[in-house]
């Protein structure tokens, strides 16, 4: 059991505990007088136009997929970057084809208009 | 501490690099110049595949076959399998260029995906590592899911893509879990090391290892459409564009069977008799289910789907023989795949060439009287059907003969008998088509004008190539069979 | 003692999240419970000295994959009536029985099979603690596993092409 995570855990417990505590306190001690306006969805002060339960456009999905692909790419970059000092020139060269292919894929989706919204 | 650059045999890696590079180039070209002639991209793709074929035939496997710690393995087996995969991709590009419904799709995306799928198959076949088997499989599977639904306006295509994707991902899960269990039991993903651990220590009998092996068999069984994991095949084959179906029926099977072979050669002799029984039952179920179901089909793509299932069953016979340590079985597997690729591609090419813009002729009834309306096409179809049924003097007969005699030599008795009986059953539906083409009057007059699109030359090339191959291997099989036999030197 | 407590906390989080995924009626809540499961798993990986796997678990699974799941739920966005029509009692029962069977089988498997405990291989636990698992992974990734690493770039490219092709606008 690695000890160095204890501070992080403490922080997590404090942050989560504060949130829970606040919620519990308002639940216990607060008075509830709901009106239609108060019960409406809070959209940063802007009056909501429609129900938030509408369907998403499929365009979001494309963005999500592209995000995942590049997210996975960063997963490969991360250990490589941590080990980079040890790897030297080899480490640099070995990343070139990988990054080259992914850069090509980025150019491809750009040219195919996958990054345009309309 | 710096790391020295590893020794890489570029000549061995060149076929894969050519295909990947070609895929990127084709995709980029179409993204940058989408309005240009598509025939340029088709020609370029064919050239890439041909040069990769040339590069793999030119690279003689030597003593340095395994590079990058066995991740990439270039032996005689790899070389032959590369040729098979590249040949099937070559054919499917020809078919795609001939198919009229594919004229409107973005050529770069389509051809790029075909090339990427090809590279995945090659990587899967040319490795000793289960890890590369999985990565290669995922590369070509992902590409094929998309290709299956490439004609997005067609509901059947969408159905095919969705079914293939959902079931395929599930099968991939089995495969990966099985590999993880094998790794847990033996401590390696390298087939050679796994084989060594199995001989020196007892995990070959451990439940984790056997369960892992079973899961891997399930995953690979799905990809080669072996019983009882073949249910997706007819729907997916029917709904996909015909050129893609042709590709699916050969390329992935070659790659998955190649990985299956390497696995069995490594762990087979030590994995016990259960595997023998499993392969036996799988082979019998697969060929019987394929042949019996094919009889009742009224759609030619579904019939060919069940026919390809039946052929997977025959190949499983070779797999069972390999488990018993037969070299002949590996050679006859390679030869069988070669002939199968040609005759299957040929049959699908006839389906493509018989179609017209907007209406594909996929009902078997559509082929009535084809012998009178389009005699050359009907003659080619008859040849491929005769070969698929395994009747001399075609390659299909010789291939089956080698395959079943390899099974007999390692002591199987009932398996080859059942396989021969199955071949007899299969004659009924293959020859039904031939009878329909020659003994029946054509139905309503087919729309003659515009039957052959601008891609007719591609269809012609594919037909001539396939027919010549099927006849050549039927009449002069020995030189290529010798080559297949010599290609079985697997490094283990 | 603290380590054990930590383990039980994470195990409880993981299992409770997983149960909530299948038990909750609203798919959005299911997705959010899966996040809890994934975070619990990440914690378990950390306690096993597998920092890299923990990071992947958080960034890829709890982050990206869960976001994708949410998008799919929002994309389909079934109403309450449609969801009610999707109740499948037979499948639920069959799923429960098969799931319990698989669970029993796996418990039996791990109880009877001596799995490797980390003594073998290039990076036994002591050495791993010395260099750090992320660094070890990075090193292996570009040396022993360089080919799968490069092949992953091809796989990701295929994924991008597939997404662009399938989501492209009808007219081109």
In the 3-class helix/strand/coil scheme, how is B448-485 assigned residue by residue?
CCCCCCCCHHHHHHHHHHHHHHHHHHHHCCHHHHHHHH
Say if residues B258 and B336 touch (Cβ distance below 8 Å): no
The CATH number given to whatever domain includes residue A89 is: 1.20.58.1610
* Residue C33 confidence (pLDDT): 92
For B407-456, write each residue's pLDDT tens digit: 898 888 888 899 999 999 999 999 999 998 888 877 665 555 445 566 78
Instruction: Look at C165 and B109 and tell me if their CB atoms are within 8 Å.
Output: yes
* Spans of chain C, pLDDT less than 50: 118-119, 171-172
Closest-CA residue of chain A to B25: A104
For residue C68 the two structure tokens come to 């994708």
Chain A neighbors (3+ CB pairs < 8 Å): B, C
Residue A117 lies in a domain: no
Which domain, by its residues, includes B108?
12-443+451-486
Residue A118 lies in a domain: no
Which domain, by its residues, includes A83?
3-111
Residues, chain C, total?
172
Within its chain, how far is the Cα of B342 from the centroid? 11
Helices (H) then strands (E): counts for chain B: 19, 2
Residue A26 lies in a domain: yes
Q: Is C171 helix (H, G, I), strand (E, B) or coil?
A: coil
* Residue C124 confidence (pLDDT): 66
Report the run of H or E that residue B66 belongs to, with start and end.
strand B66-67
What per-residue string of b and e applies to A14-28 under the rule 16 or more CB within 10 Å gives b? eeeeeeeeeeeeeee
Residue in the structure block whose two tokens are 């269990």? B181
d(CA B318, CA B310): 13
Residue B316 lies in a domain: yes
* Residue C115 confidence (pLDDT): 60
Contacts of A101 in chain B (CB under 8 A): 24
If one counts the domains in chain A, the total is 1
Q: Say if C28 is an interface residue toward chain A (CB within 8 Å).
A: no
Per-residue pLDDT 10s for chain B (492 aa) are 567 777 778 888 999 999 999 999 999 998 888 777 778 889 999 999 999 999 998 888 776 677 777 888 888 889 999 999 999 999 999 998 888 777 778 888 999 999 999 999 999 999 989 999 999 999 999 999 999 988 888 888 889 999 999 999 999 999 999 999 888 888 888 888 888 888 776 555 677 888 888 899 999 999 999 888 888 999 999 999 999 999 999 999 999 999 998 898 888 777 767 788 888 999 999 999 999 999 988 899 999 999 999 999 999 998 888 877 777 888 889 999 999 999 999 999 999 888 766 667 788 888 888 888 888 888 999 999 999 998 888 888 999 999 999 889 888 888 889 999 999 999 999 999 999 888 887 766 555 544 556 678 888 888 899 999 988 888 888 888 888 887 776 654
Residue B491 lies in a domain: no
d(CA B313, CA B292): 13
Q: Say if B17 is an interface residue toward chain A (CB within 8 Å).
A: no
Question: How far away is chain A from the Cα of B98, in angstroms, using its nearest Cα?
Answer: 25
Residue A84 lies in a domain: yes
Question: How far away is chain A from the Cα of C55, in angstroms, using its nearest Cα?
Answer: 9
Question: How far away is chain C from the Cα of B263, in angstroms, using its nearest Cα?
Answer: 18
Nearest by Cα to B428 from B301, B262, B307:
B307
* Residues contacting residue A78 through CB under 8 Å, at least 6 positions apart: C55, C134, C138
Q: Say if A88 is an interface residue toward chain B (CB within 8 Å).
A: yes
Burial degree of B7 (CB within 10 A; 0-12, 13-18, 19+): exposed
* Residue C172 confidence (pLDDT): 44
What per-residue string of b and e applies to C120-141 under the rule 16 or more CB within 10 Å gives b? eeebeeeebeeebbbbbbbbbb
Q: Give the Å distances, CA to CA, from B49 to B22, B187, B329.
A: 9, 38, 28
d(CA A5, CA B177): 31
Average pLDDT over residues A37-54: 74
Say if residues B312 and B226 touch (Cβ distance below 8 Å): yes
Domain ranges, ordered by start, for chain C: 2-121, 122-172
Say if residues B150 and B241 touch (Cβ distance below 8 Å): yes
If one counts the domains in chain B, the total is 1
Q: What is the DSSP letter of B129?
A: B
For C30-57, write each residue's pLDDT tens digit: 899 999 999 999 988 888 778 888 889 9
Q: Pick the residue of B28, B29, B115, B143 with the most A CBs within 10 A to test the interface with A by mutation.
A: B28
* Residues contacting residue C36 through CB under 8 Å, at least 6 positions apart: C13, C14, C16, C17, C20
Average pLDDT over residues A58-86: 86
| Confidence check: pLDDT of A100 > 70 | yes
- C2-121: CATH architecture: Up-down Bundle (1.20)
For B350-381, write each residue's pLDDT tens digit: 998 887 666 677 888 888 888 888 888 889 99
* Residue B34 confidence (pLDDT): 79
Residue B2 lies in a domain: no
């Amino acid at each position: 059991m690695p000890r160095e995570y204890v501070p992080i855990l403490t922080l997590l417990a404090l942050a989560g505990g504060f949130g829970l505590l606040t919620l519990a306190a308002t639940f216990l001690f607060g008075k509830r007088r709901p009106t239609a306006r108060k019960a409406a969805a809070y959209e940063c002060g802007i009056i909501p136009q429609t129900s938030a339960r509408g369907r998403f456009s499929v365009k979001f999905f494309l963005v999500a997929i592209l995000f995942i692909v590049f997210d996975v790419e960063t997963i490969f970059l991360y250990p490589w970057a941590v080990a980079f000092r040890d790897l030297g020139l080899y480490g640099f060269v070995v990343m070139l084809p990988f990054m080259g292919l992914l850069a090509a894929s980025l150019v491809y989706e750009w040219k195919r208009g996958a990054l345009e919204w309309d | 501490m710096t790391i020295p650059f590893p020794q890489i045999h570029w000549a061995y890696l060149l076929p894969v690099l050519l295909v990947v590079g070609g895929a990127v180039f084709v995709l980029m070209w179409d993204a940058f110049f989408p309005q240009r002639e598509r025939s340029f991209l088709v020609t370029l793709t064919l050239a890439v595949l041909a040069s990769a074929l040339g590069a793999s035939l030119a690279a003689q496997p030597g003593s340095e076959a395994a590079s990058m710690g066995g991740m990439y393995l270039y032996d005689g087996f790899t070389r032959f399998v590369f040729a098979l995969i590249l040949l099937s991709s070559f054919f499917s590009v020809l078919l795609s260029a001939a198919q009229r419904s594919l004229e409107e799709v973005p050529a770069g995306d389509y051809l790029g995906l075909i090339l990427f799928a090809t590279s995945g198959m090659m990587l899967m076949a040319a490795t000793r590592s289960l890890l590369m088997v999985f990565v290669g499989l995922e590369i070509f599977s992902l590409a094929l899911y998309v290709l299956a639904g490439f004609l997005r306006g067609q509901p059947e295509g969408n159905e095919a893509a969705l079914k293939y994707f959902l079931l395929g991902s599930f099968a991939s899960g089995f495969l990966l879990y099985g590999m993880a269990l094998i790794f847990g039991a033996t401590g390696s993903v390298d087939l050679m090391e796994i084989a060594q651990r199995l001989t020196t220590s007892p995990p070959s009998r451990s439940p984790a290892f056997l369960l892992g092996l079973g899961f891997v068999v399930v995953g690979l069984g799905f990809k080669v459409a072996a019983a009882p994991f073949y249910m997706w095949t007819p729907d997916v084959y029917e709904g996909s564009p015909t050129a893609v179906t042709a590709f699916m029926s050969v390329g992935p099977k070659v790659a998955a069977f190649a990985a299956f072979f390497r696995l069995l050669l490594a762990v087979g002799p030590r994995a016990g008799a259960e595997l023998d029984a499993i392969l036996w039952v799988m082979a019998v179920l697969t060929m019987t289910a394929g042949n019996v179901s094919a009889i009742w089909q009224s759609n030619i793509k579904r019939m060919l789907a069940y026919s390809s299932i039946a052929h997977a069953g025959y190949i499983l016979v070779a797999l069972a023989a390999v488990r018993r340590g037969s070299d002949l079985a590996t050679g006859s597997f390679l030869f069988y795949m070669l002939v199968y690729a040609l005759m299957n591609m040929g049959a699908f090419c006839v389906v493509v060439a018989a179609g017209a813009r907007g209406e594909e002729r996929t009902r078997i009834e559509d082929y009535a009287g084809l012998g009178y309306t389009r005699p050359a096409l009907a003659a080619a179809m008859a040849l491929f059907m005769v070969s698929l049924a395994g009747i001399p003097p075609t390659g299909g007969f010789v291939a089956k003969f080698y395959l079943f005699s390899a099974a007999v030599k390692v002591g199987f008795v009932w398996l080859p008998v059942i396989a021969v009986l199955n071949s007899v059953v299969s004659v009924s539906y293959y020859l039904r088509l031939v009878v329909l083409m020659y003994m029946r009057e054509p139905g309503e007059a087919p729309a003659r004008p515009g039957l052959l699109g601008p891609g007719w030359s591609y269809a012609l090339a594919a037909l001539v190539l396939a027919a010549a191959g099927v006849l050549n291997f039927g009449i002069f099989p020995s030189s290529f069979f010798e080559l297949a036999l010599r290609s079985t030197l697997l490094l283990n | 003692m603290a380590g054990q407590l930590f383990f039980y906390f994470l195990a409880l989080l993981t299992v409770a999240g997983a149960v909530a995924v299948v038990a909750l009626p609203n798919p959005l809540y299911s997705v959010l419970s899966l996040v809890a499961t994934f975070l619990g798993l990440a914690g378990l990986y950390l306690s096993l000295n597998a920092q890299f796997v923990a990071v992947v678990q958080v960034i890829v699974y709890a982050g990206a994959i869960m976001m994708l799941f949410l998008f799919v739920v929002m994309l389909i966005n079934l109403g309450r009536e449609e969801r009610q029509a999707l109740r499948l009692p037979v499948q639920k029962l069959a799923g429960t029985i098969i799931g319990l069977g698989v669970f029993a089988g796996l418990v039996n498997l791990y109880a009877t099979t001596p799995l490797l405990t980390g003594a073998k291989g290039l990076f036994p636990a002591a050495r791993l603690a010395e260099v750090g698992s992320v660094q070890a992974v990075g090193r292996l990734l570009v040396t022993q596993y360089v080919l799968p690493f490069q092949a992953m770039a091809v796989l990701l490219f295929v994924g991008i092409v597939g997404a662009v092709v399938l989501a492209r606008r009808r007219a081109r």
